[in-house]
Amino acid sequence: MTTEQTVIAASVLACDFGRLFDEVQAVTDAGADWIHVDVMDGHYVPNLTFGPMIVEAVRRTTTLPLDVHLMIEHAERWVDSYVDAGADMVAIHPETLYHPHLTLTSIRKRGKQAGIALNPGTSLSAIEELLPIVDYAIVMSVNPGWGGQKFIEGSFERARRLRQLALDAKTSLTIEIDGGMNTERVPQAAEAGIDVVIAGSAIFKADDPAAAVSDMLQAASV
């Protein structure tokens, strides 16, 4: 897929969790396209966030598409819970489970979009055999686990190579980039053929998150 305008997905990892639902509401009102939700289990990544109950509460707060990014071991055991909680999209890291093909297929069988997240150190070939059954890929431009990290240079180039793989396979693929993104990098992402920019700190750590969303949407529209 290539959307006309880069989608801006607000990643709640960087928000004030004491005001989680107000913050989701604020970025929804500001026009963010999607809400990106980072689920971390303290095992696959050292950090720990939340589970399906919080995702379900976020679901009740916004009508925007919910992009659930699972950074957990044995993701296959949890996929159904996140779909039940209201996820529209569920992404797994292929190294967290033995049978990614099976789990991605099960996400699709539930009528949701299936995604695969690729760490900076993961070869793009990890997705090659899965392309026919994957709706989207998250190119990680930081190592997963925390918000506020520095963008890893070369990530746009990886996205370009991934686009070529999808073109060669004659399959449509939505490409997202996750980590260290800010308004300045939005046009570069668009130029690299990236469909979705995920941003946490650049939105929620800004003095005015709603204004930050507007700036990003503006950058995405030129």
- Per-residue x/- marks for Zn ion, 68-107, CB under 5 A? -x--------------------------------------
Closest separation in Å from C-beta 197 to Zn ion? 12
Our finding on whether 38 is near Zn ion (CB under 5 A) is yes
Q: Which of 33, 76, 176, 178 binds Zn ion (CB under 5 A)?
A: 178
Q: Which stretch binds Zn ion (CB under 5 A): 67-75, 147-155, 186-194, 214-222?
A: 67-75
Question: What is the rounded CA–CA span in Å between residue 97 and residue 92?
Answer: 9
Can you read off the two tokens belonging to residue 149? 């990290």
Q: Which stretch binds ligand DX5 (CB under 6 A): 54-62, 125-133, 194-202, 206-214?
A: 194-202
Looking at beta carbons only, is 105 or 151 nearer to ligand DX5?
A: 151
Sign of the dihedral defined by the CA atoms of residues 58, 64, 70, 74, in that order: positive
Q: Which of 180, 197, 216, 217 binds ligand DX5 (CB under 6 A)?
A: 180
Query: Which residue shows structure tokens 């070529």?
Result: 164
Question: What is the rounded CA–CA span in Å between residue 41 and residue 45?
Answer: 7
Question: What is the rounded CA–CA span in Å between residue 22 and residue 20?
Answer: 6
Look up residue 10 and give its DSSP letter.
Answer: E
The closest alpha carbon to 113, from 82, 145, 77, belongs to 82
Interacting residues with ligand DX5 (CB under 6 A)? 11, 13-14, 36, 38, 69, 142, 144-145, 147-149, 178-181, 198-202
